[in-house]
């Protein structure tokens, strides 16, 4: 049997485009004399459709797309993902389903059993879990079809309070009773740099456990903050990887089932991948797809001469093309000459149009207007924030006048501890670096400069500063980022308690101070733009904290 995996970039709700892509690859597979072609989870409508699933017209369009695809499935078998209706009186209205189509007829609908409801996933909100198991026989081969989480029944416990075993049933233990010849897994698994090998190990473990070939197809592309990296896999029965498909791009490959069964194809996989390179590629894809799917073309940002805006600008230029960017340099009396020069050099290196607008007169006018009300009071963070908000106003003016979407350049370390100004440097339609710790921003800069100096060296080596007061440095207010980031990672990603972090050797006062900053600045993050997610625990939809809670 010849099996084709079609790893595609879908657009949520864009039925015409999604269906067209699926039909094109079905016809391509026919020409290639493929027996079975497989598409990813909810490929018909795009993943995750969220509350669109509650709209009757959305489900009707899914059904219409399935009918069109089914009519084309002659002389070939196809597996696609789509929501389907639950016709039982009890339970939720929909299933998350895999449809096996052959001879212009849906032969099997296998519904998803394990519905993830953690982090960014909320599938039990919409879908009824499956409780019936069957396989499909095609061309003498028995096929076990699973959907994403159905092979992820054992979860690594990053949080000691969490359970390793999240579910009461293991779908493959049910399906193996029918003696299948191989496993298909259709998935929509987002990228996380903390789980690059974790996902592969899931399929390796299942192949070994059941002594069966595993074919898993993932989607690629970005859906707002979620970035899907593709990386679809074929695993031999002995657990060796036969092949891995392209990362961060569409791909189409054909496999001979007999060769996979015999373990005759084995691919050497890099066991120590360049994580920073993958974060870079994920962010470029995230920006590109956000603009493309929203039908935006142009972007802007505030170029300060600092490391964050420099890295964000390079990512944007590589995603959108430098000709589609116009950025502002917004110096005040506290801006150093080298910061302005560094920003200008970077813009010229990239070929990005840039304008310089001195904000000092605007800031002075605000201060003069407030002088009477603030009489007798010392200058403090209020005056610093006026500068940040003046810059935010200028950037939004350019955005409004010319239609350039403002990109936010704040990093995860700053967002975590509230080191940002609402309605100032926190402005933006999309946060490029909001899930990247400061230490990794520096690593991204080094990666960008690996072949030639794109980002000026001075931008990378100088002490970070907001430049909102004389001789200001980030270290005046925050611990060194190498220390801060490690403690933040333990608290946010690993969800450790303060006591556990202190037991790891960190100073008690420092840990308590940092955690208090994280907890007390939730209200700021609540108002932040969507953040491109590259970790296992990003701020936003995957980390839901009440604003008014009294909890320490």
Among left, alpha and beta (phi > 0; psi -120 to 50; other), residue 246 is beta
Do residues 182 and 299 both lie within one domain? no
Contact, 387 vs 359, CB < 8 A?
yes
Residue 154's closest CA among 162, 146, 145? Answer: 162
CATH classification of the domain holding 425: 3.40.50.620
Do residues 254 and 305 both lie within one domain? no
The single-letter DSSP state of residue 550 is -
Q: Is the pLDDT of residue 16 over 60?
A: yes
Do residues 320 and 186 both lie within one domain? no
Interval 205-217 mean pLDDT: 97
| Residue 248: inside a domain | yes
Q: Check residue 162 and give its pLDDT.
A: 45
| Residue 183: inside a domain | yes
Do residues 126 and 243 both lie within one domain? yes
Do residues 268 and 351 both lie within one domain? no
Interval 531-546 mean pLDDT: 91
The single-letter DSSP state of residue 543 is B
Interval 203-216 mean pLDDT: 96
Q: Check residue 186 and give its pLDDT.
A: 98
Domain boundary among 209, 243, 273: 273
| Residue 302: inside a domain | yes
Do residues 142 and 248 both lie within one domain? yes
The span from the CA of 46 to the CA of 14, in Å, is: 8
Do residues 283 and 203 both lie within one domain? no
CATH classification of the domain holding 104: 3.60.110.10
The span from the CA of 128 to the CA of 114, in Å, is: 10
Do residues 256 and 282 both lie within one domain? no
| Residue 473: inside a domain | yes
Residue 112 domain boundaries: 2-273
Contact, 135 vs 145, CB < 8 A?
yes
| Residue 194: inside a domain | yes
Do residues 304 and 259 both lie within one domain? no
The span from the CA of 34 to the CA of 382, in Å, is: 66
Contact, 83 vs 92, CB < 8 A?
no
| Residue 502: inside a domain | no
Interval 61-77 mean pLDDT: 97
The span from the CA of 12 to the CA of 52, in Å, is: 9
Q: Is the pLDDT of residue 367 over 50?
A: yes
Do residues 364 and 442 both lie within one domain? yes
Q: Is the pLDDT of residue 505 over 70?
A: yes
Among all residues, which ones are annotated catalytic? Answer: 41, 112, 148
Q: Is the pLDDT of residue 164 over 60?
A: no
The span from the CA of 8 to the CA of 23, in Å, is: 12
Q: Give the pLDDT band of residue 467 (cuts 50, 70, 90).
A: low
Q: What is the pTM of this model?
A: 0.94
The span from the CA of 533 to the CA of 430, in Å, is: 11
Domain boundary among 230, 250, 273: 273
Number of domains in the chain: 2
Lowest mean pLDDT among 134-138, 166-170, 180-184, 494-498: 166-170
Q: Is the pLDDT of residue 169 over 90?
A: no
Give residue-wise pLDDT tens across range 299-329. Answer: 999 999 999 999 999 999 999 999 999 999 9
Q: Is the pLDDT of residue 372 over 90?
A: yes
Interval 436-458 mean pLDDT: 97
| Residue 267: inside a domain | yes
Residue 186's closest CA among 225, 157, 155, 143? Answer: 143
**What is the chain's mean pLDDT, rounded?**
93
Do residues 262 and 288 both lie within one domain? no
Pairing of strands 430-431, 405-408: parallel
Lowest mean pLDDT among 46-50, 152-156, 272-276, 471-475: 152-156
Give residue-wise pLDDT tens across range 75-89. Answer: 999 999 999 999 987
């Amino acid at each position: 049997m010849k099996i084709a995996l079609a790893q595609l970039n879908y657009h949520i709700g864009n039925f015409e485009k999604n269906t067209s892509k699926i039909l094109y690859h079905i016809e391509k597979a026919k020409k290639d004399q493929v027996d079975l072609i497989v598409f990813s989870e909810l490929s018909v409508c795009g993943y995750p459709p969220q509350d669109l699933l509650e709209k009757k017209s959305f489900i009707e369009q899914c059904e219409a797309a399935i009918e069109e695809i089914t009519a084309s499935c002659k002389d070939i078998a196809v597996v696609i993902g789509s929501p389907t209706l639950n016709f039982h009186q009890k339970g939720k209205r929909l299933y998350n389903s895999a449809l096996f189509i052959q001879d212009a007829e849906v032969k099997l609908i296998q519904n998803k059993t394990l519905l993830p409801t953690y982090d960014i996933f909320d599938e039990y909100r919409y879908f009824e879990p499956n409780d019936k198991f069957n396989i499909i026989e095609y061309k003498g081969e028995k096929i076990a079809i699973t959907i994403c989480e159905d092979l992820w029944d054992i979860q690594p416990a990053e949080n000691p309070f969490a359970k390793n075993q999240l579910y009461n049933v293991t779908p493959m233990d049910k399906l193996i009773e029918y003696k299948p010849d191989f496993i298909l897994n259709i998935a929509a698994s987002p990228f996380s740099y903390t789980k690059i090998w974790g996902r592969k190990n899931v399929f390796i473990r299942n192949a070994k456990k059941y002594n069966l070939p595993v074919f898993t197809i993932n989607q690629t592309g970005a859906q707002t903050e979620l970035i899907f990296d593709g990386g679809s896999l074929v695993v031999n029965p002995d657990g060796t990887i036969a092949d891995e498909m392209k990362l961060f791009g569409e791909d189409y490959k054909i496999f001979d089932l007999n060769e996979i069964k015999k373990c005759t194809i084995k691919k050497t996989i890099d066991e120590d991948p360049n994580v920073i390179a993958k974060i870079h590629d994920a962010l470029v894809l995230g920006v590109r797809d956000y603009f493309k799917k929203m039908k935006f073309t142009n972007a802007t940002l505030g170029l300060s001469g600092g490391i964050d805006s420099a890295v964000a600008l390079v990512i944007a230029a590589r995603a959108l093309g430098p000709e589609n960017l116009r950025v502002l340099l917004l110096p005040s009396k506290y801006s150093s000459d080298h910061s302005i020069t560094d920003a200008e050099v970077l813009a010229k290196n990239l070929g990005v149009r840039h304008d310089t607008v001195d904000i000092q007169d605007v800031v002075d006018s605000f201060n003069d207007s407030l002088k009477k009300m603030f009489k007798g009071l010392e200058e403090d963070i209020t005056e610093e924030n006026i500068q940040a908000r003046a810059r935010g106003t200028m950037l939004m003016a350019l955005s409004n006048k010319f239609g350039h979407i403002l990109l936010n350049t704040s990093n995860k370390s700053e967002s975590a501890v509230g080191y940002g100004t609402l309605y100032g440097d926190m402005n933006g339609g999309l946060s490029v670096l909001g899930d990247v710790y400061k230490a990794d921003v520096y690593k991204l800069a080094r990666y960008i400069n690996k072949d030639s100096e794109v980002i000026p060296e001075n931008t990378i080596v100088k002490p970070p500063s907001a430049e909102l007061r004389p001789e200001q440095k980030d270290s005046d207010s925050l611990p060194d980022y190498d220390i801060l980031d490690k403690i933040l990672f333990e608290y946010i990603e690993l969800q450790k308690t303060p006591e556990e972090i202190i037991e790891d050797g960190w100073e008690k006062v420092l840990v308590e101070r940092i955690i208090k900053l994280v907890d007390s600045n939730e209200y700021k993050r609540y108002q932040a733009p969507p953040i491109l997610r590259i970790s296992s625990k990003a701020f936003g939809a995957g980390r839901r904290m009440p604003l008014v809670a009294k909890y320490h």
